[in-house]
Chains A and B, each alone.
Chain A
Amino acid sequence: MKKTVIPACVILALALAAAIGSQSFLSPCVHEDGSFGACHWAGRALLGIGCVTAILAALALALRNAKARLGVYLSLLPVTLLGILTPGTLIDLCRMSTMRCRAAMQPAMIILFAVMLVCAGVGALLSAKE
């Protein structure tokens, strides 16, 4: 039980960082004229994915049944994968590498969600063995 909730704790912390970051310290570009680029919507999508990931991680923490926790960890796999693919692959970003969305948001989100993906995999393995 103890071991299987550690990945959920890590995911919860990182998902909150991704959700809050997508609208603050890792937010997409702000245009001078106030218009929105595609990266703005990528940021919004990441906020949503981050929140869903955090809720699922909290659920994995709360559940006592190992099989149910395994199910939550398995559901986290495609959600975190979605988080990796959203900035730049599924939703376009600005097309200048020096822009904030490409220089900060995209690499940070890919790293955060990749770590969450690995944690979800580890959590699933540990829950399956329990």
Chain B
Amino acid sequence: MSIFSLSRKNLTRKPGRAAVLTLLIAFLSLAVFGGSVVVLSLRQGLASLEARLGADIIVVPSSAQSKVSFQNMFLQGTTGAFYMDVSSLDRALEVEGVEKAAPQTFLASLKADCCSIKIQVIGIDPAADFTVQPWIARSYSRELGDMDVAVGCKVEAEVGEIIRIYDQRCKVVARLEATGTGLDTAVYCNMDTMRALLAAAEEKGISHKITSDSEDSISAIYIKVQDGYDIDAVNSRLNGHIRKATAVRTRSMITGVSDSLAGISRTVTLLIAAVWALAFIILLLAFVLIIRERTREFAVLRLLGTSRRMLGRMVLLESALCSLLGGVIGIGVAALAVFPFSTLIETSLNLPYLRPALGVILLLAAGTLALAVIIGALASAGAAWRLSRVDPGTALREEN
């Protein structure tokens, strides 16, 4: 009989003992894999937010700042509508150090027929835009036509489908890649479409707090600062030059998110470390108890001619089998808890959350499995050494 089949039989004959060890390792793997995926997804979300903001400075009406609606739009996808005169765009371009300035207009829909909640409609100027357009270009190579819309990946509308926003028929021409931010829940169109939607909203008597003619209103200006210019200095100049508007450095938005992420990351890491330490101690204790229980069994095996080395290998193999099974179960349960509920996690944390690539997830799973086997082997190493050195005569006499 080989060591492997002997180890396997030892485990199946004592299912209770094997189940406890397996469950303990499963719990460990669940904590490590699940926690790591959440932390990685948050980091990926933050990187995506940085990439998507794309601008150095964003100019918004002063009212948007007081409502904190602007940051929430990016992070949580909440709807927001605030407007300033389009002349602010010309004034922004006059400021020294401004390389590019792209306007955007926001409109909070009523319940669109695609959704049972309000959705954020964002109008962009494809010719001037340097933030959203490159993202749209990845899914749609042409320019957005009139009454064409591109939808974020969390809006469940198919390409070619017609959706109604303020009773206006809009054709979905693209579904955009996931960013893990609030931008995934928005609908994007060109400025002409936006004007039509603003007019339709006005016809319905729905005030969007437009202070001037809708054709001359924008909600935000995205600024790219020329190389060699100090962003803070340009930001100050913009604040002084544009009336009733506030220039915000995008980094200040990201810093807040980054701080929250660091806090969550620390907590998760601490929890994982605590779970591992606790489980390692429990595993050590479990193996100490196993030594007492199996001394007689090992004494008999020694009398039958099994070498010490083989006995040690047998204990390690049993532990490795339990760890492997526990690792697979833990990773499987964590995957079931984390991946299907990623949107729920994202909305609960109110932070950008983007799932890592499949390769990274597989690597993480392999790493967790390897760690589970190593921890199992380390915990059982002492037991393996002590059991392999059992003196058969003494052990059997003591037992009798």
Which of B138-146, B152-160, B203-211, B356-364 sits within the interface? B152-160
Is there contact, CB below 8 Å, between B119 and A103? no
Chain A's closest residue to B77 (CB) is A98
Q: Whole-angstrom distance between the alpha carbons of A102 and B116 in the complex?
A: 12
Q: Do B344 and A94 touch (CB < 8 A)?
A: no
B116 touches A96 (CB 8 A): yes
Residues of A31-53 contacting chain B, CB below 8 A: 31, 37, 39
Q: Are B154 and A97 in contact (CB under 8 A)?
A: yes
| Residue B115 at the chain A interface, CB threshold 8 Å | yes
Which of these, A95, A103, A108, A110, contacts B115 with CB under 8 Å? A95
CA distance A94 to B344 in the complex (A): 15
Check if B154 sits within 8 Å of A96, measured CB to CB: yes
- CB within 8 Å of B: which of A107-121? 107-108, 110-111
Please give the distance in Å from B178's CB to the nearest CB on chain A.
Answer: 10
Cβ contacts under 8 Å, A37 to chain B: 116
**Contact of B116 (CB < 8 Å), options: A31, A108, A111:** A31
When the two chains form their complex, are residues A107 and B154 in contact, meaning their CB atoms are under 8 A apart?
A: no
Give the complex CA separation of A104 and B343 in angstroms.
Answer: 8
| Residue B336 CB within 8 A of the other chain | yes
Which chain A residues lie closer than 8 Å to B156 at the CB level? Answer: 94-97, 102
Task: Determine how close the nearest CB of chain A comes to the CB of B138; give it in whole angstroms.
Answer: 19
A111 to B337, CA, bound (A): 10
Q: A54 interface residue, CB < 8 Å from B?
A: no
Q: Report yes or no: A98 in contact with B157, Cβ–Cβ below 8 A.
A: no
**A111 and B154 contact, CB distance less than 8 A:** no
A98 to B156 alpha-carbon distance, docked (Å): 10
- Indicate if the CB atoms of A104 and B341 lie closer than 8 Å: yes
Closest B residue to A114 using CB positions: B336
Instruction: Tell me which residues across on chain A come within 8 A of B155, comparing CB atoms.
Output: 95-97
Known: A102-B156, A103-B347, A111-B336. A96 touches B117 (CB 8 A): yes
B114 at interface (Cβ–Cβ under 8 A)? Answer: yes
Chain A residues with CB under 8 A of B347: 98, 103
User: In the docked arrangement, what's the CA distance between A102 and B62, Å?
Assistant: 36
**A102 close to B340 (CB less than 8 A):** no
CB < 8 Å neighbour of A96 from B185, B340, B346: B185
Q: Which residues of B contact A29 (CB under 8 A)?
A: 116-117
A residues 43-75 touching B (CB-CB < 8 Å)? none
Please tell me which one of the listed residues A39, A98, A108 contacts residue B343 in the complex, with CB atoms under 8 A apart: A98
CB distance from A42 to the nearest CB of B (A): 12
**CA–CA, A98 to B347, complex, Å?**
7
A95 touches B185 (CB 8 A): no
Question: B327 → chain A, closest Cβ, in Å?
Answer: 20
State the CA gap A29–B340 with chains docked (Å): 18
In the bound complex, what is the Cα–Cα distance between A29 and B153 (angstroms)? Answer: 20
A99 within 8 A of B: yes
B119–A104 contact, CB under 8 A?
no
For A97, list chain B residues within 8 Å (CB).
153-156, 184-185, 343
A103 to B340, CA, bound (A): 8
Cβ–Cβ contact A99 & B341, under 8 A: no
Alpha-carbon separation in the docked complex, A101 to B184 (Å): 17
Residue contact A110 to B154, C-beta cutoff 8 Å: no
Docked complex Cα distance between A94 and B77 (Å): 16
CB-CB under 8 A from A102, the residues of chain B are 156, 343
**A107–B154 Cα gap in the complex (Å)?**
15
Q: Which residues of A contact B341 (CB under 8 A)?
A: 103-104, 107-108
Which residue of B has the minimal Cβ distance to A38? Answer: B116
11 A-B Cβ contacts within 8 A? A94-B117, A94-B156, A96-B114, A97-B185, A98-B185, A98-B347, A102-B156, A102-B343, A103-B341, A103-B343, A111-B340
Which of B's residues lie within 8 Å of A, judged by CB?
77, 111, 114-117, 119, 153-157, 184-185, 336, 340-341, 343-344, 346-347
Q: 20 extra interchain contacts, Cβ-Cβ under 8 A, other than A94-B116, A94-B117, A98-B154?
A: A31-B117, A39-B116, A94-B115, A95-B114, A95-B157, A96-B114, A96-B115, A96-B154, A96-B185, A97-B154, A97-B155, A97-B156, A97-B185, A98-B77, A99-B116, A102-B343, A103-B347, A104-B341, A107-B340, A107-B341
